[in-house]
Amino acid sequence: MKRTKSAEAFELAKRLIPGGVNSPVRAFKSVGGDPFFVRKGSGARIWDADGNEYVDFVCSWGPLILGHAHPVVVEAVTRVVSDGMTFGIPTERETELAGALCDAIPSMKKVRLCSSGTEAAMSGIRAARGFTRRDLVVKFDGCYHGHSDGLLAKAGSGVATLGLPDSAGVPASFTSCTIVLPYNDAGALAACFDAHGSKIAAVILEPVAGNMGVVLPERKFLESCRELTRSHGALLIFDEVITGFRICYGGVQKILGIEPDITVLGKIVGGGMPLAAYGGREDVMNMIAPVGPVYQAGTLSGNPAAVAAGIATLSELKRPGFYEKIETRGRRFFEGLVAAAKAAGVEACGNSIGSMGTLFFRGGEVKCWDDVKKSDTSAYARFFRKMLERGFYFAPSQFEAAFVSAAHTDADVDTTLRAAEESFATD
């Protein structure tokens, strides 16, 4: 595969943009080689600057559950932008999207729209602190909640990929109110509440983790999160930026049977546009200005084009059988990947739920960041490069999820699995 145009574009970009990328995960640092530059996407496929075609299992890191340039979403956005791109004045569609979100997620009585998952998670925590009048926040090792100062402590995603413990530029005092515990460890959480219970404002977690690769929650762990927060007067925040509308219509909380006090959304709800949201209990959300004293704002919050993309996307997701179909395809895909690896004698295991999953290059089981990081990242890098050469784009890091969209066909799954078999056979 020739990538000379991408290579030239990357050289140019590096002169002006740190690392040539506007988000670190886009660099191929942990898998070797340079990123390709994309020109176009349609359905399950993308094309790079040199015209190479790839089946895309990154899907912009999660938002594109309908695939690239879905005609209904494109039409909705096109129609709206010709009437003005931003006003900074309320529009009726914002209430329509808010209604759709609250209908889909019953624990969410009120919701505030903003522009990125980072903002939404940061603001949800601010609301929790304002409401409880407490400072401490508990997060879990390997969970990622965006790049706000206080949450860059043992975060997943790019922070994990680059092997950074935290981030430079964040004063220690900013993360001194963040307690980091191991995921799926109910005992550690109970001990933490024993020690600091009266000072904890909130526990925030990805109810299914997606930013250290996919890690599923254990029942007892989730129940402890709910019971301990409730009994100590703290709030439970589910960061559903990835899982919201990914596993079912609404939050994965519906399937898990646990209701948080605050839910954070992003990615899919913006249909590929910059939109995110946080919402929850009415008494908590009434803390937000202008009703209450917790300040949070945004020039482009509730942007008309982004809201239109979100509404159009949700209307497609609501079609009967939508989730059953991608779940079936996702299961076949992720089980197929693990089977292909094992058949070739490659040490591997997989975690998946619905249309999101991760193939880990290690044996045994993966339940927390300590398990995840024992994966053979150089084996993943070889797999990544071989698949890319064959026209299949996976995340350029072991510590990320792969996504199947509604645009991926059974034939796409078959050809990808065949390519994976070849890749493992030549490893």
**Interaction of residue 144 with ligand PLP, rule CB under 6 A:** yes
Q: Name the one residue in this structure whose structure tokens are 């024992």.
A: 374
Q: Which two tokens stand for residue 359?
A: 């193939």
DSSP for 93-142? Answer: HHHHHHHHHHHH-TT-SEEEEES-HHHHHHHHHHHHHHHHT--EEEEETT
- 112 Cβ contact partners less than 8 Å away, ≥ 6 residues apart: 123, 277, 278, 279, 285, 288, 296, 301
Give phi and psi for 93, each to the nearest 5: -65, -30
Q: Name the one residue in this structure whose structure tokens are 């999660």.
A: 62
Closest CA to 237 of 281, 205, 268, 276: 205
User: Residues 60 to 119: which contact ligand PLP by CB under 6 A?
Assistant: 116-118
# residues contacting ligand PLP (CB under 6 A): 15
CB 241, min distance to ligand PLP, A:
3
Which is closer to ligand PLP, CB of 44 or CB of 143? 143
CB 154, min distance to ligand PLP, A:
14
Which is closer to ligand PLP, CB of 153 or CB of 417? 153
Give residue 314's Cα distance to chain centre. 17
- 326 Cβ contact partners less than 8 Å away, ≥ 6 residues apart: 65, 354, 355, 404, 405, 406, 408
Q: Name the one residue in this structure whose structure tokens are 């070797």.
A: 32
Which is closer to ligand PLP, CB of 121 or CB of 200? 121
Task: Quickly count: other Cβ atoms within 10 Å of residue 12's Cβ.
Answer: 12
Which is closer to ligand PLP, CB of 238 or CB of 361? 238
Near ligand PLP by CB under 6 A: residue from 68, 145, 362, 367:
145
Residue of 29, 139, 154, 267 marked catalytic? 267
User: Residues 112 to 141: which contact ligand PLP by CB under 6 A?
Assistant: 116-118, 121
Q: Applying CB under 6 A, which part among 103-111, 238-246, 249-257, 358-366 lies near ligand PLP?
A: 238-246
Which is closer to ligand PLP, CB of 116 or CB of 253? 116
CB 144, min distance to ligand PLP, A:
5
CB 116, min distance to ligand PLP, A:
4
Query: Catalytic: 249?
Result: no
Q: What is the enclosing helix (H) or strand (E) of 412?
A: helix 410-425
C-alpha 238/C-alpha 266 separation (Å) is: 12
C-alpha 330/C-alpha 337 separation (Å) is: 11
Closest CA to 330 of 88, 26, 57: 57
Which is closer to ligand PLP, CB of 144 or CB of 361? 144
User: Residues 177 to 236: which contact ligand PLP by CB under 6 A?
Assistant: 206, 210-211
Closest CA to 108 of 312, 277, 224: 277
CB 219, min distance to ligand PLP, A:
21
Which is closer to ligand PLP, CB of 104 or CB of 121? 121
Residue of 110, 141, 144, 261 marked catalytic? 144
CB 422, min distance to ligand PLP, A:
31
Closest CA to 124 of 142, 111, 107, 105: 111
Report which residue's Cβ sits closest to ligand PLP: 117
User: Residues 249 to 278: which contact ligand PLP by CB under 6 A?
Assistant: 266, 276
Rg (CA), the chain: 21
Q: Name the one residue in this structure whose structure tokens are 């990808």.
A: 416
Give phi and psi for 54, each to the nearest 5: -130, 145
C-alpha 248/C-alpha 250 separation (Å) is: 6
Residue of 48, 239, 261, 412 marked catalytic? 239
Query: Catalytic: 267?
Result: yes
**Cis ω for the linkage preceding 290 (within 30 of 0):** yes
Which is closer to ligand PLP, CB of 98 or CB of 209? 209
Which is closer to ligand PLP, CB of 44 or CB of 125? 125
CB 192, min distance to ligand PLP, A:
21
List, by residue number, the catalytic residues.
144, 239, 267
Interface with ligand PLP (CB under 6 A): 116-118, 121, 144-146, 206, 210-211, 239, 241-242, 266, 276
